[in-house]
Amino acid sequence: MKRVPETVPEDIARTTHFKLDQLAPVATIADLERYDAIIVGTGTRFGRLSSQMAAFLDQAGGLWAKDALNGKIGGAFTSSASQHGGNETTLFSILTNLLHFGMTIVGLDYGHTEQMGHETVVGGAP
């Protein structure tokens, strides 16, 4: 597990209580080429992926140009502070990137019945 670089200046991050003591190492674009599968996770920001994740993926044009991620397995997850906080649109904004890289998207299908009820909040959608 890795994290993407922070794009907010450190002084602002400190004064606005960003979590700056992460144990996970910072990912690089070059790391992506070495993986067989890439699962992207990010918080929901106004119904789309975070600016930090978007900035990271925007730098992967060189990998796209040489088909370095083509055929690799891709997946995505997200969360928000509410049941209808934009999770599905955030997933689409991540998956669009993975599809442009030529990745094969793997997710939960309708056979995963644990997510199909409506009695409790479970999140997710196939």
* pLDDT score recorded for residue 53: 97
Pairing of strands 37-43, 104-105: unpaired
Interior/surface letters 83-95, b for 16+ CB within 10 angstroms, e for the rest: eebbbeebbebbb
Q: According to DSSP H, which parts of 1-126 are helical?
A: 10-15, 29-34, 51-58, 61-65, 87-100
Residue pLDDT, tens place only, 18-69 = 888 889 999 999 999 999 999 999 999 999 999 999 999 999 999 999 999 9
Instruction: List CB contacts of 42: < 8 A, sequence separation 6 or more.
Output: 49, 50, 52, 53, 78, 90, 94
Among 25-34, 55-64, 82-91, 106-115, the range scoring the smallest mean pLDDT is 106-115
